[in-house]
Structure 1
């Protein structure tokens, strides 16, 4: 049995972790949790050759240098422009054998329990070989409003049918999901056969599927890089895999995954992923905290002194300074500095 093919998606500008993460070097390529970058950690989770085949990376030209410096032997599909995840995954599917099981992994997530990840990947791959399109249902620990949810349906061998996908809910709805049970976070990890994915994409988004197919047919190889045709790819109307396929197909399944997952989607999420002291504080760089609770300080040089604050994030990086409440961190991406850098 051939190994599972990790398809690593490298995209986005990382503005929600500004000023540490910037468009020129966004969060996948930074060592935010531990010594490895998030991209390197993603590859390391899939490094067991007994379970996984060599990875296939999908990245934009702007990130190619980072990809190749951190994964010099990886095969890379270079997207002509960003067209969201449905097209990126289709590019990979068309470069693989039809019966290949693809494990779609964002490059900028943190997973604390790699053994649990490997178990979930194996269960998802088994379902994928049976023709299911499988989402990872992340164990919901709190009523998050920034994530989509998956409601599980009838049991399958190793997982469940998906009863429905739910878009980001308001707080009351999220609380009701946790109280009711049977709901998981949608973590953006998927497994399916390449040919199954393409069949569903062609059924539900035929124009998108055709444009990607033409982009691949007219593309060119450059050593380990593959460059799809830019003109064909430009015709694509970008859409996420969730909207284009997973919410449309009748073959959606899920595997439960309790693996210490975080999308590192903002500064408080990074604070939580790193682990705090007894007062909930997290410090990277020179800093002194007095009478503080749940304060995060990240400084690349200047000493930061904080007294008597709760739930505050302070970041000093490359001459830029960010100070925000934990709640306000959701709006960091709206700052002009984050958008323009």
Structure 2
């Protein structure tokens, strides 16, 4: 049997995580916080690599402001690429692909802040996709939907390319409720999880075809990078010239050889306090309690405290989040409105 490409996990860890404010902050975003386990989201992502056939030490693409957190929570042998500034996922992945170009690893690109409950199912989906990756296909992993979610993008599946892997027919923007329900009823659609597998050279070739300016800026940034220990710091001035775009818009929606491996693996992007309530253990009244928090004659609440004792009495379906300096209260089902609180905080801080 031919030797398969090594798989290098590429973990994207540059996000600010404001959707879980006030626990998640710019200086300590959600990937570095223990939300669903005793381990942080970043540590859970690293743990997902264990037992993966052919895996090498990971490459972490992160924010220079988080370098101490990455070192404290990371593994020996990892390589850190510190983005000089945020330019979205396509340029971040380009930096890693350039670092891995010579060995042409199969890059397993994962966000650092997702939950995957069934790691064995994830590894099996990776195994199904590896032969196609060796043939130059760009593979994304689609989550088999169990509800008409409107908060995710969807992937429409085309012809089968290999056992359990299908050609991508098209990407679908986040739908309204009626469209989501129709796609769920029709079948053949999966949620776009933002997890990818492709060779470094195939990704760079796609950039050369579809995003030459982005590739040129990333190459210039890496050519001028400084190196120290396990840290690569791309040249800031060169990277500042890089267009900012997501991998979906910049590459996946434009390239020809794009495939999807559908998988049911207990996935969540933990993108809101509502999502955390859904994941968390709950009492008989459907309350999820964390820290010194209590529910009396209350149902369906998420109550989390990292400091003061919080007691909710006679209320239903509330989200109550308390930290040392901020308290957030809003109805369950409205947790996306946390952005209004973050905006108000920014206005208070910046007010002359």
TM-score normalised by length of structure 1: 0.96
Q: Structure 1 residues 242, 49: CA separation in 2 closer, same or farther (over 3 Å shift)?
A: closer
**Deviation for aligned residue 1:65:** 1.2
Partner in structure 2 of residue 183 of structure 1? 189
**Are 2:96 and 1:92 equivalent residues in the alignment?**
yes
* Corresponding residue of 1:10: 13
Corresponding residue number in structure 2 for 1:205:
211
Which whole-Å CA distance do the structure 2 matches of 1:296 and 1:198 have between them?
44
Provide the C-alpha distance between the structure 2 equivalents of 1:176 and 1:307, rounded to a whole number of angstroms.
Answer: 40
Alignment of 1:100-119 (within 5 A): 100-119=105-124
Aligned-partner SS, 1:276: coil
Q: Is 1:217 aligned to residue 223 of structure 2? A: yes
The answer to whether 1:306 aligns with 2:312 is: yes
- Give the CA deviation at 1:63: 1.3
1:331 paired residue number: 337
Which residue, 210, 223, 228 being the options, matches 2:234? 228
Matched, 1:44 2:47: yes
Aligned to 1:275, the other structure's residue is in SS state coil
Find the counterpart in structure 2 of residue 196 from structure 1: 202
Structure 2 stretches lacking a partner, 5+ long: none
Larger deviation: 155-164 or 307-316? 307-316
Give the deviation of 1:276 after TM superposition.
Answer: 2.3
RMSD: 1.5
Partners of 1:127 and 1:84 in 2: CA distance: 26
Which stretch of structure 1 is more off in the superposition, 325-334 or 37-46?
A: 325-334
Question: d(CA) in 1 for partners of 2:116 and 2:299?
Answer: 25
**How far apart, in 2, do the equivalents of 1:157 and 1:170 lie?**
32
Contact 1:298 1:315 in 2 (8 A): yes
What's the CA shift for 1:337?
Answer: 5.8
- Partner SS, residue 302 of structure 1: coil
Do 1:8 and 1:57's aligned partners in 2 also have CA atoms closer than 8 Å? yes
Structure 1: gaps spanning 5 or more residues? none
Moved more, 293-302 or 259-268: 293-302
* Inter-CA distance 102–144: structure 2 relative to 1 (3 Å threshold): same
1:36 Cα deviation (Å)?
0.6
Deviation sequence 1:64-87 (CA, Å, 0-9, x none):
111111115221001111000000
Give the structure 2 partner of residue 80 of structure 1: 84
Structure 1 residue 290: Cα displacement: 2.6
| Residue correspondences, number | 341
1:137: which partner in 2? 142
- Does residue 1:154 correspond to 2:159, yes or no? yes
Equivalents in 2 of 1:38, 1:69: separation in Å? Answer: 13
From 57, 61, 73, the counterpart of 1:58: 61
**SS in structure 2 of the partner of residue 165 of structure 1:** strand
Q: Tell me, in whole angstroms, the C-alpha distance in 2 between the residues paired with 1:43 and 1:287.
A: 30
TM-score by length of 2: 0.93
- Whether the 8 Å CA contact 1:124–1:255 is kept in 2: the answer is yes
Offset of residue 53 of structure 1:
1.1
Q: Deviations over 1:283-332 (max 9, x none)?
A: 00122213322210001132222223222110111221110112221010
SS of residue paired to 1:242? helix
What secondary structure sits across from 2:28 in the alignment?
coil
| Counterpart secondary structure, 2:248 | helix
Offset of residue 102 of structure 1:
0.3
> In terms of mean alpha carbon deviation, does 22-31 or 306-315 score higher?
306-315
